[in-house]
Amino acid sequence: MKILGLETSCDETGLAIYDDTLNDGKGGVLAQVLYSQIELHATYGGVVPELASRDHIRKLVPLFHELLNKANINKSDIDAVAYTKGPGLIGALMTGALFGRTLAFGLGVPAIGVHHMEGHLLAPVMTGDGVEFPFVCLLVSGGHTMLVRADGVGQYTVLGESIDDAAGECFDKAAKMLNLPYPGGPNVAKLAETGNRHAYELPRPMLHKGLDFSFSGMKTAVHNLIKDTPNADSDPVVRADIAASFEYAVVDTLVKKCVKALKQTGLKRLVIAGGVSANRSLRQSLEHELNKIHAVVHYAPPELCTDNGAMIAYAGYCRLKAGQADGLSVACVPRWDMQSLKIA
């Protein structure tokens, strides 16, 4: 079975073909293509929803043909279409959903709307890196930060989540304060490489209050630190130290919450997914701390951490295999509770 996956929830247009006959029947990605809108939005320092929607419309058809050529298949070889139904920017979601549902109708194949964060959660499972249910998953991106217990596909319990800013959003805002280009996360991490992470003490909000997160206070603390530190806008050493101290505070918070979640559930397997999961400092710190409690951590390869069509194709495959499919109507969901994702 060949599943076309379409990801258009925000500022990446991702398409991929998942084929369950690859790798001796274990399945794998036959081909994928990705177009990033970073340059489009960099001028504004963040994603402009209307521009994102228009760019998805402009890119979907040529990327689809590029994907078919890369996979060396015809449209008629597609057995089903999976598209991101939510959460995300409503205009961006609608572009991929309407394209996918229309294509599926024309080909006479089933279509399924996929939860964006379920796609991220299942990406490490798709890679075949020995990930087995149950596990605790840290979903951490520009729009979401949450800890989820996953007992199987569609069997999710949210253990904790951010009550305000997501970790990725906090990275983007800290980058703006440091006059770093968009996207913030990779640029803050790069600057932090040469800094002293112990140079400045930043808060770890809600560190000892359950498994929920809060990053708005950390954002404010960075703002005040930059304002009150001499030469924070010009001295490269000071800037690097601020970036390193900020990254360390975020990573330290995420890691300690993950350890707490594993101890609370009694599980010994952690999966991290989403754009921020590509952060090297986060990966290294998690591996170090989880080794102390004899737990293991899994993550997707870097190209599958950020938004991509492969994760949507695989999540759609799992849903279709369970007998689920959507009707002809298209209803995208900008906000969508993961705990509602049951397998029928």
- CATH number of the domain bearing residue 163: 3.30.420.40
| Residue 143 annotated as binding site | yes
In a shared domain, residues 157 and 296: yes
Number of domains observed in the structure of the chain: 2
User: Which letter does DSSP use for residue 13 in this model?
Assistant: E
Terminal alpha carbon distance of the chain? 21
Give me the helices (H) in the chain, please.
22-25, 38-42, 49-71, 90-107, 116-126, 167-177, 184-192, 216-228, 236-265, 280-292, 309-321
Question: Which residues, given as ranges, of the chain have pLDDT below 50?
Answer: none
| Residue 275 annotated as binding site | no
| Residue 116 annotated as binding site | yes
In a shared domain, residues 31 and 119: yes
Q: Return the pLDDT at 344.
A: 62
In a shared domain, residues 149 and 287: yes
Transcribe 288-343 into DSSP letters.
HHHHHTT-EEEE--GGGTSS-HHHHHHHHHHHHHTT----S-----SS--GGG---
| Residue 36 annotated as binding site | no
User: Token pair of 123, please?
Assistant: 């990406």
* Residue 128 lies inside a defined structural domain of this protein: no
Domain that holds residue 200: 133-301
Q: Which residues contact 118 (CB under 8 A, 6 or more apart)?
A: 156, 315, 338, 341
Question: Does residue 203 sit in helix, strand or coil?
Answer: coil
| Residue 140 annotated as binding site | yes
| Residue 217 annotated as binding site | no
In a shared domain, residues 217 and 278: yes
Q: Answer yes or no: are the C-beta atoms of 29 and 310 closer than 8 Å.
A: yes
Q: Return the pLDDT at 40.
A: 86
| Residue 55 annotated as binding site | no
In a shared domain, residues 158 and 290: yes
Q: Return the pLDDT at 97.
A: 97
| Residue 195 annotated as binding site | no
Q: Return the pLDDT at 136.
A: 98
| Residue 142 annotated as binding site | yes
